[in-house]
């Protein structure tokens, strides 16, 4: 289990007053399963930009996918990692935070001007994925002005850096929950006890939903869901009970066959959220009679807008969510190969790089 690091004020970070070196250590993904620790130049912040000294960078399922087979949104060769928290080491003119400020943030921001942004669909902003900040598995991370203005926050003193770095994945969950119409009496099935599935459990339980079932295969991960008040079962056991009792089904595995089966677990008039992203080019088929005559609604949320980021920030700062069980240990950058091998084997949930 990772031990929360110390938090503090500007005076606790004398490095902020010191000169910044010219180079840093960073993990670079050259090709699938070809990850190297390299010495690279430290970027210089322009107007409005922030250069952050990374204190915690958590691993993510998206980065694991990139490591396994590549990812269309993660260029290769290129830096890896996008969940982070840290301390501002340098700030460009007009930047929202001064050097020495402890911060937490996400790696993207909408333009707020395109067709989708103007229609309250910031998560679909036409340039949101082309302007992401990658490279949190490094000693320093440059946050462009566009992101720094709206999606970086000062980290409260009492919030550990490790937990603060979960803002980005929790924002994805907040985007999903914002599309669901649930009450404390709703029955919800979450399929897939990975970090995202478990965050859905935490968010739903924090919202007062009493009947949450978590289904999966990994007993250690299911145990975390049980710790948070979810009923748990092996994924094969879902069909043994009433397969249509759930008001809401949330699929978090990204497996086509589970996408297809998810529809069978929703009640008539229920909602199925297909959250897990499947490999590009794959297709899923559904029982059209079931969808039509039982009026099953399908949702598939993507990424997040600024509202979801703010919601995630509120959850981290003000709710009683205990997300520490998601963290499987602190690691050095030179241990990256072992980290991704462990994640591939289902050992651990999220590891914390502490550059």
The model's pLDDT over 292-334, given as tens digits with 9 standing for 90+, comes to 999 999 999 999 999 999 999 999 999 889 999 999 999 999 9
Rounded to an integer, what distance in angstroms lies between the CA atom of residue 171 and that of residue 313? 8
pLDDT for res 152: 98
Structure tokens at 278: 């499947």
Indicate the DSSP class of residue 74. Answer: B
Q: Which H or E run includes 176?
A: helix 167-177
Distance CA 38, CA 227 (A): 40
The number of beta carbons lying within 10 Å of the beta carbon of residue 23 is 12
3-state SS class at 306: helix
What local confidence, expressed as pLDDT, does residue 146 receive?
A: 98
- Helical packing angle, 219-227 and 195-206, nearest 10°: 10
128 φ, ψ (degrees, to nearest 5): -65, -35
**Structural tokens at position 209:** 């939903």
Whole-number pLDDT of residue 13: 44
Over residues 131-148, the pLDDT tens digits come to 999 999 999 999 999 999
Q: What is the pLDDT of residue 243?
A: 62
Supply the angle between the helices 167-177 and 195-206 in degrees, to the nearest 10. 60
First to last CA, the chain: 18
For the chain, 355 residues long, give each residue's pLDDT as a single digit of tens.
333 444 443 334 444 445 789 999 999 999 998 999 999 999 999 999 999 999 999 999 889 988 988 887 788 899 999 999 999 999 999 999 999 999 999 999 999 999 999 999 999 999 999 999 999 999 999 999 999 999 999 999 999 999 999 999 999 999 999 999 999 999 999 999 999 999 999 999 999 999 999 999 999 999 999 999 999 999 888 865 566 689 999 999 999 999 999 999 999 999 999 999 998 899 999 999 999 999 999 999 999 999 999 999 999 999 889 999 999 999 999 999 999 999 999 899 999 999 9
138 has which bridge partners? 26
Length of the chain: 355
Give the C-alpha separation, 112 to 144, whole Å: 15
Domains and CATH numbers, the chain: 10-172+304-353 (3.90.180.10), 180-299 (3.40.50.720)
The torsion angles phi and psi of 261, rounded to 5 degrees, stand at: -75, -25
Peptide bond before 77: cis, by omega within 30 degrees of 0? yes
**pLDDT value of position 325:** 96
The full DSSP string for 153-174 is EEPPTTS-HHHHTTHHHHHHHH
Distance CA 289, CA 283 (A): 18
């Amino acid at each position: 289990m990772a031990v929360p690091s110390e938090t503090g004020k500007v005076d606790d970070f004398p490095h902020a007053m010191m000169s910044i070196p010219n180079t840093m250590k960073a993990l670079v993904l050259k090709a699938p399963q070809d990850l190297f620790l390299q010495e690279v130049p430290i970027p210089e912040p322009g107007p409005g930009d922030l250069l952050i000294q990374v204190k915690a960078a958590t691993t993510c399922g998206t980065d694991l996918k990139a490591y396994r087979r590549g990812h269309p949104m993660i260029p290769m060769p290129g830096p890896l990692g996008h969940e982070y928290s840290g301390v501002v080491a340098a700030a460009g003119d007009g930047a929202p935070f001064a050097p020495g400020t402890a911060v937490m943030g996400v790696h993207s921001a909408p333009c707020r001007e395109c067709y989708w942004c103007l229609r309250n669909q910031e998560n679909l902003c036409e340039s949101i994925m082309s302007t992401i900040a990658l490279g949190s598995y490094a000693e320093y991370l440059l946050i462009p002005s566009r992101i720094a203005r709206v999606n970086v926050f000062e980290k409260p003193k009492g919030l550990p850096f490790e937990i603060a770095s979960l803002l980005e994945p929790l924002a994805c969950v907040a985007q999903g929950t914002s599309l669901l119409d649930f009450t404390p009496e709703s029955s919800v099935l979450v399929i897939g006890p990975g970090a995202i599935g478990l965050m859905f459990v935490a968010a739903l339980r924090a919202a007062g939903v009493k009947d949450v079932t978590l289904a999966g295969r990994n007993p250690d991960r299911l145990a975390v869901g049980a710790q948070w008040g979810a009923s748990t079962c092996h994924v094969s056991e879902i069909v043994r009970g009433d397969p249509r009792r759930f008001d809401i089904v949330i699929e978090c595995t990204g497996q086509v066959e589970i996408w297809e089966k998810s529809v069978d677990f929703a009640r008539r008039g229920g909602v199925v959220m297909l959250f897990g992203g499947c490999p590009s080019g794959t297709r899923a088929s559904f029982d059209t009679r079931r969808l039509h005559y039982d009026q099953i609604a399908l949702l598939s949320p993507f990424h997040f807008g600024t509202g979801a980021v703010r919601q995630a920030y509120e959850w981290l700062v003000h709710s009683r969510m205990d997300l520490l069980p998601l963290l499987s240990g602190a690691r050095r950058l030179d241990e990256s190969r072992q980290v991704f091998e462990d994640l591939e084997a289902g050992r651990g949930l999220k590891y914390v790089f502490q550059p």
